[in-house]
Structure 1
Amino acid sequence: MKLSSSIFTFRFLNFNSLFIKSHPSFKISAATKRTMTQFPNFSTKISNSSPANTAEDSQVSPPEPRPQSPPRKPWLIVGLGNPGKKFNGTRHNVGFMMVDAIAEAEGISINTVNFKAQIGKGFIGNVPVMLAKPQTFMNSSGESVGAIVSYYKIPLKQVLVIFDDLDLPFAKLRLLPKGGHGGHNGMRSIIDSFEGSRNFPRLRIGIGRPQGRMDTINFVLRAFNKQEREELEFTFHNGIAAVRILLLEGFDKSATYVNSTKAMEQLG
């Protein structure tokens, strides 16, 4: 009796198995499918002739990798000035001083000499930057800046030039998207190196005009006194903030910050 019961059970199971495979109305429910996929150790051996393993399935190609975007071009931030100890701390070198302040604030070492410039590479936020101080003397700054831009193929809209401006009151900042050289020989040289293009941003730092009959050349090569250096510290603080906003949030927000009446009053 036990043997016949076992045989009956075996036949009953086989009958159900055949019914499941052959009956046209049988479908595996969505819940069953989910249950099967939730258990990675659950497996059912399927022969090569099974409909679940067709030739069409075996020829399916893996998904193509997404195309990688080209690497971001760095921003080039240039400070203008004259090389050599005798020019340190002079009005004409305030561009150098601003770049040094940015380097210190952002932890970027200006420790390479290339393209006739002292260069530092790093990041401001997640934006790659190059800091440069041309060593060509002011009037030939374009020899250095033009070579850097050409070699790295930097868009001119990502070249920020920082320089001294006689027409701005002392310690004032002004950020512009483009413009002429305004009589500044360093800017004149850079525009010439860009084949006459003026479409690059610039951050002007006011140094004021000479008093009385002092010659302009002597004035721009004159060192800042103690009080002026203290005022410039605040100017550099705002310049660093302006550069961060420019790179991370765009020109318009940076220009609003720098050029607003409130910002100008704070610098006064």
Structure 2
Amino acid sequence: MLSRIPNCCFCTAATAHPWLFVGLGNPGEKFKETRHNVGFQMIDAFAESQELPMNRVHCKALFGEGYVLEAPVLLAKPQTYMNLSGESVGPLAAYYKLPLNRVVVLYDDMDLPCGVLRLQPKGGHFSHNGYGLWSMDNCSLLLA
């Protein structure tokens, strides 16, 4: 399980924009424990560890918001299928007027061995076609 975030990780209270963390996956019980839903699982673990409720629906996503230290944080699990997640993420980013460098996308990457984590400041969708996220040239967190 994740522990509380240390004081040095995010930013100061003067931050103009919140961070949007989006975990990608597929909705429904049949996909719940699959590798493809690791993005959902990461959002759930993060929300639980930081005591952030995921208790509403917003822009076709299960949604939660709060603060980690003094940094505003938005959490989303789009309830579209993975290849249609742009229908949720695009409107969320637009609603909160977020620059792309404040959007972190968490998803599985079938090109990485299980248990390997890759952080990259920019990049494309690799094995996931059809995100439709205007541009994936934002910060992505890839999980296997």
Q: TM-score range by the shorter chain?
A: 0.7 to 0.9
For 2:6, the equivalent position in structure 1 comes to none
Query: Per-residue CA shift, 1:122-149, capped at 9, x if unaligned?
Result: 1111110100000011110000000001
Quote the Cα distance in structure 1 between the aligned partners of 2:22 and 2:50: 15
Query: Per-residue CA shift, 1:208-236, capped at 9, x if unaligned?
Result: xxxxxxxxxxxxxxxxxxxxxxxxxxxxx
For 1:193, the equivalent position in structure 2 comes to 133
1:152 matched to 2:92:
no
1:135-214 aligned at under 5 Å gives the runs 135-185=79-129, 188-189=130-131, 192-194=132-134, 197-206=135-144
**Runs in 1 of length 4+ with deviation above 2 angstroms?**
none
**Percent identity between the aligned chains?**
53
Deviation at 1:71, TM superposition (A): 6.9
Aligned length: 131
Q: Which runs of 5+ in 1 are unaligned?
A: 1-69, 207-268
Quote the Cα distance in structure 2 between the aligned partners of 1:150 and 1:142: 11
For 1:82, the equivalent position in structure 2 comes to 26
1:45-60 aligned at under 5 Å gives the runs none
Letter in 1 for 2:142: R
1:96 matched to 2:36:
no
Quote the Cα distance in structure 1 between the aligned partners of 2:133 and 2:39: 19
Deviation at 1:111, TM superposition (A): 0.4
For 1:210, the equivalent position in structure 2 comes to none
Deviation at 1:170, TM superposition (A): 0.7
Letter in 2 for 1:176: Q
Higher strand share: 2
Larger radius of gyration: 1
Letter in 2 for 1:96: F
Quote the Cα distance in structure 2 between the aligned partners of 1:154 and 1:140: 20
Quote the Cα distance in structure 2 between the aligned partners of 1:159 and 1:115: 15
TM-score of the aligned structures, taking structure 2 as reference length: 0.86
For 2:74, the equivalent position in structure 1 comes to 130
Higher helix share: 1
Quote the Cα distance in structure 2 between the aligned partners of 1:138 and 1:119: 16
Quote the Cα distance in structure 1 between the aligned partners of 2:100 and 2:55: 24
SS in 1 for 2:55: strand
Residues 204/71 of structure 1: CA separation in 2 closer, same or farther (3 Å cut): closer
Q: Which runs of 5+ in 2 are unaligned?
A: 1-13
Residues 204/193 of structure 1: CA separation in 2 closer, same or farther (3 Å cut): closer
